[in-house]
Structure 1
Amino acid sequence: MAGYRSLAPGTVIDAGARVRLALYRVYLALVMRVEAVPRAYGGEFAARLDTWSAWRVTRQLAVVDALEA
C-alpha cells in the first residue's frame, strides 16, 4: 500500500482494492505451498511453510469476508 501511495499520492484504497490485495496474498501463499512439492522442500522448512501458508490463506480470506459483508 505504501508503494502505491508513494507513486500516486492521491490513490484511494477502497474496499475493492483491499479485496484484490487480500486475494493477491492468498494466491502467493498458495503458489508457495504448491511449489514446495516439485522443489522437494522437507523438514522444518516445509512444516513452517505449510503452517504459514494455511494461516495466511485463512487470515486473508477472513479479510475478504469482512470486506464483502
Structure 2
Amino acid sequence: MSKIEKIFPNKRLIITASGSFYNVIGSGDVAQVQLKDFELLRHGFSPEQITQLNLAPNGFFH
C-alpha cells in the first residue's frame, strides 16, 4: 500500500508515492467516513461495510 500523492479527476488518474499509476474506472461515489473509522478504510473496508459495522450491536465483532 502506498500513499496517494496526486489525483487528476478529469483524467481519472491517481499517482502514488511509490510511482504507481492507477486509471480509475467510472465516476465514483461521494462517501463520508468518520475519522475514527479511517483505519478501516485504509485496510480495505468500503464505506458501506464501515456503516454496517457501526450499526452492529456493541461488541458484536469483538
Q: Shorter chain as normaliser: what TM range? A: under 0.3
Q: Answer 1 or 2: higher relative contact order, Cα 8 Å, separation at least 6.
A: 1
Please report the TM-score for the alignment, with normalisation by the length of structure 2.
0.26
Which protein has the bigger helix share?
1
Which protein has the bigger strand share?
2
